[in-house]
Amino acid sequence: MPNKNNKNKPNGFILYANEIRDDLLREGHVIRGMPDLISVASPRWNGLPADEREYYKDRAKWEWENSRNNNASQYMKKPVRPDRRDCSGALMSDRVDIVMFNEEKKKKERTEVFSSWPQGRAVTERSFYFVSFICLLEEPNPHPIEVAAVEFSLLGGILRNWHKHINPGPIEMGYQYLAQQISETTHLIPVTGIAEPRDTYTSIYDELLQFISRGTNHIPPIHVKKSDCEKVEGCIKWLARMAGRPHQLKRIYELDGLIIDLDSHLNGQPQDFFRSQQHGTELISSTIFDWDSESKCSFHQENETKFCAKGYVNKYCFLMSRFFCEVHCIPSTENHQPVHRKEKLYTLINSSSSSREKPKTKTKEEFERDMMAREVAQKLSNFAMRENALDEDDIERKALEDEQMRQEQKKRWLSLRGGESNADSMNSSIVNGSASSLNEVPKSVFGRGRGRGAASVMQSLRRPGDSGSGKVQLPFGRGTKMYTGN
C-alpha cells in the first residue's frame, strides 16, 4: 500500500518545472495548471545534462527531509494541517527555510569543489573561471550591458580572457532616467549600448558557454564576488532567455570562499566552514588595481573609469596572484601582474605626450628644431634672470637713497633747533623775534592747524626791525588767537 505521506513529496522535475514557469509564461506558453506545465517543461527537462538533473533531484530530496524535520514540532507547537495553504496557494507543510537552504547549498558547493582538488600543490595547476557583468539596472530586470570572463590558475596566472558588450534592450517605463543616471556616474556606457551588430544574444551566450566549458559537456563552476552572486546569476539567466537557449550556467559559487579554501588546502589543513570569509572579501575588495588602464577594455580605458567588467575579473586575478605568490612561494610570471609592470620599472618623461607612446627615432630636421628650441629657451631664461637682477639693484639703490634723505633731514632739524631742549623754547624765541631765519623754522613748531590759518602763519609773523605792535597770529584749531611779545 503506498504511503500517503509521499503524496506531496517533491521531485527534481517538479522543482525544475516550477523554476522555469515564469520564463515559459513570458515566452507565450499557456499554463492553466500542472498538466500544462508538465507537458511544456518535459522536453527541456529531457534536454538537460545528467549532472543538472542530479542536482535538482538532490535538492528535492533535501527539501523533503527538511520539511519533515520542520513538521516534527520540537517546541510543542500545534501541527500544521496538511491541507492548509498560504496566500500564494502553496501548502504550508511544504514551506522551506530559504536562509537555511541557501547556507546549506553554499556549503555543499564549496565541499564539492574542495573535494575535487588533487592533493598537495597540484591544485595550483587547476583552472578557475571568474565572470563579471555591468548592468544598467538592478530591478525589475538587470539589463546587462557588458560581460567579461577570465580563466585563471595559481601557477600560470591569467590563461585566457573574453569580453563582450551587450545590447541591453528596451528599458521599462519609468526607469529611463535612473538608468541614465547610473550610466553617467559609473560605467559611462550609453543606455542604448555600444554592442557590435554581429554580437547578438545567441552568439554571446554561446561564446560564454564555449569559453567556460571548452566545448565539452562538463561545465565547471563560475566564481564571482559574494556580493555579486545574485546579479551574475540573474544576468546569465536573462541572457539565456534572450538567446533562446537552455540555462546551463547555473553553478555560481562564491569567490570569497574559494580563497579561504585554497589557503587551507595549500597549508595542508582541512576545509573549515567556521573560518570567516572576511579575509577573502577584503582581499578582492582592494583598490590597488582599480585604475590600471591596461587591464580594462578600450572604451573604459579611453574614458578613464574604473567600472569595467574586464577590469574587475583581471583585478581579482592580480590580487589573488599577489597574495598566493607571496604567502605560498609560487613563482610570479608575466601573467600574474598588469601589463605596465611587465615592462620597465622606470619612467622616462621626454615631453607632454602620453607615457604609453613608444619612443621613436628623430630625424635630422626634428633634432635641429629641438636644439633651436632649447637655445631660445636658455636665452629667455638668462634674460629673465638679468631683469630680476636689475630690479633687485634698483630696490637696493632706492632704499639707500631714502636712508640718506632721512639722515639729512635729521641733521637739518637738529641744526635748526640750535640746541634747544624742547619746542616751547623755540616758540618763545620765535615770538620774541630772536630767530635768525624765520623761513627755516619747521612747520611742526606751530602745529598743522586747519584751512588757510596754517598757511598764513609765516606771513603774519613779525620780523626783526619791522615796526608793529609785536603781536603774532598763531593758528589754534579752526580760528586764530593773538599773542603779544610782552
Which among 186, 142, 133 has a CA at the least distance from the CA of 310? 133
Considering the domain 9-72+90-96 in this protein, what is its CATH number?
1.10.30
- The rounded distance, in Å, linking the Cα atoms of 56 and 105 is 12
Assess whether the previous peptide bond of 270 is cis (omega < 30° from 0).
Answer: no
The grid coordinates listed for 426 are: 623755540
pLDDT at 325: 92
Which among 105, 111, 82 has a CA at the least distance from the CA of 95? 82
- The rounded distance, in Å, linking the Cα atoms of 412 and 360 is 76
- The rounded distance, in Å, linking the Cα atoms of 380 and 382 is 5
Q: What are the E-state strand segments in 82-127?
A: none
Is the Cβ–Cβ distance between 219 and 244 less than 8 Å? no
Rounded to 5 degrees, what angle do the CA atoms 353, 359, 363 make? 100
**CA torsion, points 326, 330, 336, 341, in degrees to nearest 10?**
60
- What is the number of helices (H) and of strands (E) in the chain? 16, 7
User: Residue 149: which H helix or E strand, with range?
Assistant: strand 144-153
Select the more confidently predicted residue: 123 or 440. Answer: 123
DSSP assignment string, 215-267: TSS----EEE-GGGHHHHHHHHHHHHHHHT-------EEEHHHHHHHHHHHHT
pLDDT at 186: 92
- Beta strand 157-165 with 252-254 is unpaired
User: Where along the chain do its domains lie?
Assistant: 9-72+90-96, 98-342, 437-484
pLDDT bracket for residue 396 (50, 70, 90): confident
**CA torsion, points 425, 431, 436, 441, in degrees to nearest 10?**
70
Which percentage of the chain shows pLDDT scores above 70? Answer: 69
Among the residue ranges 314-323, 364-373, 476-485, the one predicted with the least confidence is 476-485
Rounded to 5 degrees, what angle do the CA atoms 187, 191, 196 make? 90
Is the Cβ–Cβ distance between 209 and 197 less than 8 Å? no
pLDDT bracket for residue 198 (50, 70, 90): very high
Task: Count other C-beta atoms under 10 Å from residue 153's C-beta.
Answer: 17
User: Is 50 exceeded by the pLDDT of residue 180?
Assistant: yes
pLDDT digits (tens, 9 = 90+) for 450-459: 444 444 444 4
pLDDT at 64: 77
Architecture of domain 98-342: 2-Layer Sandwich (3.30)
